[in-house]
Amino acid sequence: MKSERALISAAVRQRFVCVEPRWRQYIYGAIYIPLAAERHLVTLKRDGRTAFLNELEKLAALGSPWASAFLGYQALLLTPEGTRNIERAIQLCKQPALSGDAYAAYILGWATFLRGDHAEALTHFRRATRQLFPPAVLDSVQFFWSAKWRTEPAGVLISLRQAKNVGHHATSLFRSAVYRTGKLGIRRLLLGLLLWPVAALYVRAASIRDPFSAQSFWFDPRNTHRVLGLRE
């Protein structure tokens, strides 16, 4: 009999169905790409990057949530000059996020956070988290940790448990990072040191095995445009 955690993880995977890993020969890097995008990836395969991005622009203009989120994520990645197009990401994702799309709400959360509107960002993150969108659930770990670890240290453990329940592959890596601060005791510090190399290898393997899953993807504000490549 499957555990409750396994059932939740399977339900989340079924809810956020992604394209198959075979598309990684055309898209380089881990990013959530829902199954609805598959027929449009044919354009990338056949005609290359420029044609694919042009098609995504048209889809976003017509209200496609995943196209808006994809382009919004791309806009938030750092350029070689160290800049990012935050306003473009907000413009792309605002309407689909307000219409209830978890992916767009997650990207909009990061865009508004990077603009400095932290209260608004939290609203968007919560919307995505309530839908059990794995990257949003995972990021609740670091947001809770940065805001409340002094007053509610047990809360971060709850956040980690929730991230594990939805099946995000980077949960152990986040757990290791929290434990290695030493702020949850010496026993967890030692456990975090032991866990880190295993967790890092697991995340790497998962990104290769399951690159387009919502359970592999999360936004790292340090990432540059090089983390997302498209076939020329």
pLDDT at 153: 74
| CB within 8 Å of 231: residues ≥ 6 apart | 25, 26, 27, 44, 45, 48, 49
pLDDT tens for residues 170-192? 999 999 999 999 988 999 999 99
pLDDT in tens, 28-71: 988 999 999 999 999 999 999 999 999 999 999 999 999 999 99
> What pLDDT, on a 0 to 100 scale, did the predictor assign at position 231?
87
Domain ranges of the chain: 4-230
Long-range contacts (CB closer than 8 Å, 24 or more residues apart) made by 16-22: 16/102, 16/133, 16/134, 16/213, 16/214, 16/215, 18/210, 18/212, 18/213, 18/214, 19/212, 20/212, 21/209, 21/210, 21/211, 21/212
For the chain, 232 residues long, give each residue's pLDDT as a single digit of tens.
567 788 888 888 899 999 999 999 999 988 999 999 999 999 999 999 999 999 999 999 999 999 999 999 999 999 999 999 999 999 999 999 999 999 999 999 999 999 999 999 999 999 999 999 999 999 998 887 776 666 677 778 888 999 999 999 999 999 999 999 998 899 999 999 999 999 999 999 999 999 999 999 999 999 999 999 998 8
For residue 162, CA distances in Å to 126, 128, 139, 190 come to 13, 14, 11, 23
Report the CATH architecture of 4-230.
Alpha Horseshoe (1.25)
What is the structure's pLDDT at 143?
Answer: 82
CA–CA dist 86, 138 (Å, integer): 22
Q: Which two tokens stand for residue 216?
A: 């592999």
